[in-house]
Structure 1
């Protein structure tokens, strides 16, 4: 089966303020298949966000290529939707207004927008909050609006750069389980960056462990924990063994390169 997303021998070099060349990602190749939930893990500065930004078309590789359905991504790619840590909502628009924004830009009729938006607001469990403004919502609810807006736009791939990092522990746990439910319901391909091994083990179908800068793939680990998953899976022996394996891979990079570890 052909991958939906791919990186082929990708290298990305940046020039810093001192006009020094910094290699963020080096000779990286990766295939991502339709419907997968991929988590990228690695020490800070290993190039995880750089990879996501190349898949979104925000930046171009220095060498190699990134592909969507076998075609090179050479500009911002609307079929790959990005969700960041920050909620990026329009504060003057209601929940409904935020979720329907992209559909309005596409020229969709009011009646069709309302029907489509209602479905996605229900999917993220925000029914009853359609007329609330972002300032009236909790952080977790605002991130649900962001996810609903992205799903309403119907990209083929969701690219998520630590979307729950700013949330408190309890809200983060709820959002993780909500995202699992949404992934199962929508069937979307998701590429998700996290600094939490626990989060990656709960969410992913495969874990991609990165080396410290320059970013290369150190290991690809299938996540065979039983599904559907719940936070209680963390108490299973299988979970503990898998977490120990992932941590040892990341810790070895931290010790060798002095980078900041994931926790």
Structure 2
């Protein structure tokens, strides 16, 4: 197994909702993320998966326990961890290329270097020919590709993704799920992705961390050894169905509780 790049060690997180009243969002969560791994955090709404992701990003500080990046505590936002949100958050007045160049420019690289980096990742996410377009001229799926290219161009060691495809239609989402697995192989990035979609986790993840709510805890960590690429033949296989059934049995009660 490759080395550990991210780690949560006995992490708990409470939020104050009113005077003298706290909500425990996470309780005693311990998890290691391995270098070059694609890890999915999966569970019903309210299980703390986004809270844990935000602590990995340095946006949120744990109430107890430690969050480590390469064995050192994360004490704030760290450029080694890049975040991709569900919303695209692109600069509407900048072209695709200028949006993707933003990170390299902040590092002080030359215009030529920034352009070369941007063009590399624009091609990687399948947007060749759209570098001079503006976000408003693109579909939602294309805008999310730009967001991904911009994150990759900043060269983080870990890419943190909070349900990045949830707002997209089913067909576009499926295409981008397969594209993201390809991009991870090409870019050699560690990815931690939050999802509540079992099929999405099965398509992409090396391991699936199933979380339970009230408060958020890790219920199970399931290796996903389905063969890649996880195309339609794999998705119709017995192994896929058995793994999906196993995961659903872990989350079904939590989903029913949340919906009631």
- Using the size of structure 1 for normalisation, the TM-score is 0.96
- State how far apart, in whole Å, the 1-side matches of 2:203 and 2:179 are: 12
Matched, 1:156 2:157: yes
Matched, 1:147 2:148: yes
Residue 187 of structure 1 deviates from its aligned partner by 1.5
- State how far apart, in whole Å, the 2-side matches of 1:107 and 1:221 are: 42
Q: Give CA-to-partner distance per residue, 1:8-48, whole Å, 9 cap, x none.
A: 00000001146520000000000010011001111100100
| Corresponding residue SS for 1:16 | strand
Residue in structure 2 matched with residue 53 of structure 1 by the alignment: 54
Residue in structure 1 matched with residue 208 of structure 2 by the alignment: 207
Residue 259 of structure 1 deviates from its aligned partner by 1.9
Q: Give CA-to-partner distance per residue, 1:108-154, whole Å, 9 cap, x none.
A: 10011111111111000111001000000000000000000000000
Residue in structure 2 matched with residue 73 of structure 1 by the alignment: 74
Structure 1 contact 81–158 (Cα < 8 Å) conserved: yes
Residue in structure 2 matched with residue 248 of structure 1 by the alignment: 249
Superposition map of 1:71-110 within 5 A: 71-110=72-111
Residue 232 of structure 1 deviates from its aligned partner by 3.6
- State how far apart, in whole Å, the 1-side matches of 2:148 and 2:210 are: 25
- Stretch moving more, 152-161 or 223-232: 223-232
- State how far apart, in whole Å, the 1-side matches of 2:246 and 2:220 are: 10
Residue in structure 1 matched with residue 186 of structure 2 by the alignment: 185
What is the RMSD of the two structures over their aligned residues, measured on CA atoms? 1.3
Q: Which has the larger share of strand?
A: 2
| Corresponding residue SS for 1:225 | coil
Residue 231 of structure 1 deviates from its aligned partner by 3.7
Structure 1 contact 24–214 (Cα < 8 Å) conserved: yes
Q: Give CA-to-partner distance per residue, 1:64-97, whole Å, 9 cap, x none.
A: 0000000000111110100000000000000000
Aligned length: 259
- State how far apart, in whole Å, the 1-side matches of 2:206 and 2:194 are: 13
Superposition map of 1:105-116 within 5 A: 105-116=106-117
| Corresponding residue SS for 1:227 | coil
Structure 1 contact 205–224 (Cα < 8 Å) conserved: yes
Which ranges in structure 2 are unaligned for 5 or more consecutive residues? none
Superposition map of 1:13-32 within 5 A: 13-17=14-18, 19-32=20-33
Residue 260 of structure 1 deviates from its aligned partner by 4.1
Structure 1 contact 44–260 (Cα < 8 Å) conserved: no
- Using the size of structure 2 for normalisation, the TM-score is 0.97
Large movers: runs of 4+ above 2 Å: 252-255
Change over 3 Å in CA distance of 1:161–1:231 after alignment to 2: farther
- State how far apart, in whole Å, the 2-side matches of 1:19 and 1:123 are: 50
Change over 3 Å in CA distance of 1:225–1:55 after alignment to 2: same
Residue 228 of structure 1 deviates from its aligned partner by 2.0
Which ranges in structure 1 are unaligned for 5 or more consecutive residues? none
Residue in structure 2 matched with residue 64 of structure 1 by the alignment: 65
